[in-house]
Structure 1
């Protein structure tokens, strides 16, 4: 069973057909970044329409059992996720309301400090705020997965400690393997694993360096992560952005908060969209990666856990089913 812990593309039938060609049992999509509550409601409504129009290929998942059922029916389950918490509009009660509408994964902060905590790009990480503690516990209560992918390291450690359920980093890599503000230090990764969480290793070129140049080379990065936190706590979160262009990229990086060019995980020397990875340009690369793990020393059970089993276990713990 293959599961992609985070994607952020523009979806249509062609992309859904790629999910099926890659035998994806489930993906976590990105419903929103900087969108407020009303805009996120619009996005959720759009996704419901899109799923309904392509019901022969995809279905919406609220529980781990929904993912298993979709897989049995040769469909891909879409797990609704957000890469920010602006959708709450500062209202704690909205956690439950968005959960009722199907949202199952929420990143505490995106690229900026907010009322919940600090981000990986701030010079000073404030840690988890009082409101952030309330949000984390509310997410625990309703069954929504806490995502720490873009948070600052102190905020991440605070959230791991405060959360009463396992949490995730859905799309990042160990900074000890490739230093980058978006990647995570060993102490945070170990704390996450000790509490039962999962790290989704990202195939996004900008946070991989030369580890991404071949699938076999990237398997070495997987080995390093497994050595660090154990095979039961490593998954895949590609951060694929199929069919997104400059408009979507600028929204992700700049939102409404700045007029100044901002390059996100890129740089002034590398300002545009990252070049697609040859072996993971879309989700048809998942079987290729599974095969590569096998020839690079992982047992069949270990490869199965990394490719989706660990995500499914975490989803069952947090979502239920």
Structure 2
């Protein structure tokens, strides 16, 4: 495969982690989007990687900031970033915007949450977020919230009554219901009651690595059977040792395809395109950050002082090319690889974002 296919990262970051502000933010529990560094290197690396579009995380995820107000502020910050870099970035509201980004050689920026706490007790806020351009809403982070239990909540209680009304509101406004980080019952219940297909934008397969952040075959199968999408991440949870490799990423993709079918699996790396240059310095601060997450109750089983939150041999501007090479080596056809690298997410987005009249 000489020409890269459309590459859509179902969960990633636009940031230069080597910039002083971003390096400092990485050590914090809840960094602000204002601390990210979308600079010339960030943009050049994103273009060089072949990236077409990426679902970024903005708004409240954890910490002491007021969730709703902070989330509105973060949306405004990203609107400014996109506006200031209009030659390179395009805010995505529809799949037509993703196709346009590819045609115009820009990077599509999809606004997404990794925690729905900002909805508060008012499902009317879903309409506000939709109007502001949010397109993906993950129900929970690792801990429980008032919507449902996250993957690290020991009770595994599933959705709350209010959580069911949140799923209904997200359906009504055609926003993706992302079940990454959710507990097993929360995932199964949300996938079961949603009128539109749902997604797990960044996860692994628990059948291969039995850790809470990974999804069971039952979860994967249900999401896919209802027309949904599953993105495999480039994260340490793909191997119980905490030291995942590119080979692990391939194995989890292969397993997900076996369970879900080739039309429902893609990638959600949960990382940047720009590599960290000084890994020794990064490792020196990692233990402190992991301890901070553990103390706050937001860490996940499998996070340790020595587990890097990325795959060492699948990072940087060549990460997508390398994954394509490995999938080709595994015997995957160009058509299947095109689906995994972006086509399946685009088709899923069409099923969720498009009004019924145009579908």
If the length of structure 2 is used for normalisation, what is the TM-score?
Answer: 0.81
User: What SS does the aligned partner of 2:253 have?
Assistant: helix
Question: Residue 45 of structure 1: SS of its match in structure 2?
Answer: helix
| Residue in structure 2 matched with residue 278 of structure 1 by the alignment | 312
Corresponding position of 1:54 = 85
* Contact preservation (8 Å) 1:85, 1:108: yes
The Cα of 1:281 is off from its aligned counterpart by 2.1
The correspondence for 2:352, drawn from 301, 318, 321, is 318
SS in 2 for 1:279: coil
**Mapping of residues 286-301 of structure 1, within 5 Å:** 286-301=320-335
Q: 1:23 offset after TM fit, Å? A: 1.1
Who is 1:196 aligned against?
227
Identify if the C-alpha distance between structure 1 residues 195 and 261 changes in structure 2 by more than 3 Å, giving closer, same or farther: closer
What are structure 1's unaligned runs of at least 5 residues? Answer: none
The answer for unaligned runs of 5 or more in structure 2 is: 1-5, 16-35, 277-281
CA RMSD of aligned residues (A): 2.5
Which residue of the other structure, out of 141, 162, 167, is the alignment partner of 1:131?
162
* Superposed displacement of residue 91, structure 1: 1.2
Q: Secondary structure at the match of 2:127?
A: helix
Q: Which string of whole-angstrom CA distances, capped at 9 and with x for unpartnered residues, describes residues 119-166 of structure 1? A: 110111111111111111111111100000011101110000110000
- Which secondary structure state, in structure 2, belongs to the residue aligned with residue 78 of structure 1? strand
Q: Offset at 1:259? A: 5.2
Question: What whole-Å deviation, never above 9, does each CA across 1:216-255 have from its counterpart, x for those lacking one?
Answer: 45323321221111111110000115689769x959974x
Indicate yes or no: 2:43 matched with 1:16: yes
Identify if the C-alpha distance between structure 1 residues 51 and 71 changes in structure 2 by more than 3 Å, giving closer, same or farther. same
Residue-pair matches, total: 315
C-alpha deviation, 1:52, in angstroms: 1.4
Q: Contact 1:203–1:212 at 8 Å: present in 2 too? A: no
**Structure 1 CA distance for aligned equivalents of residues 240 and 315 of structure 2:** 16
Q: Which residue of 1 aligns with 2:3?
A: none
Confirm or deny: 8 A CA contact 2:242 2:307 kept in the other structure.
Answer: no
SS in 1 for 2:168: helix
Mark the CA change 1:119 to 1:174 in structure 2 (over 3 Å): closer, same or farther. Answer: same
By how many angstroms is 1:12 displaced? 0.9
Aligned partners of 1:47, 1:273: CA distance in 2, in Å? Answer: 30
In the alignment, structure 1 residue 3 sits paired with structure 2 residue 34: no
CA displacement at 1:210 relative to structure 2: 6.4
Offset at 1:317?
A: 1.1
Q: How does 1:1-321 map to 2 (within 5 A)?
A: 1-8=6-13, 10-13=36-39, 14-32=41-59, 33-34=61-62, 36-209=67-240, 214-241=245-272, 250=289, 254=293, 263-267=299-303, 270-271=304-305, 274=308, 276-320=310-354
- Are the aligned partners of 1:166 and 1:195 in contact in 2 as well (CA < 8 Å)? yes
Using the TM superposition, give the Cα deviation of residue 285 of structure 1 relative to its aligned residue in structure 2, in angstroms: 1.0
Counterparts of 1:47 and 1:77 in 2: how far apart (Å)?
Answer: 12
Contact 2:232–2:249 (8 Å) recurs in 1: no
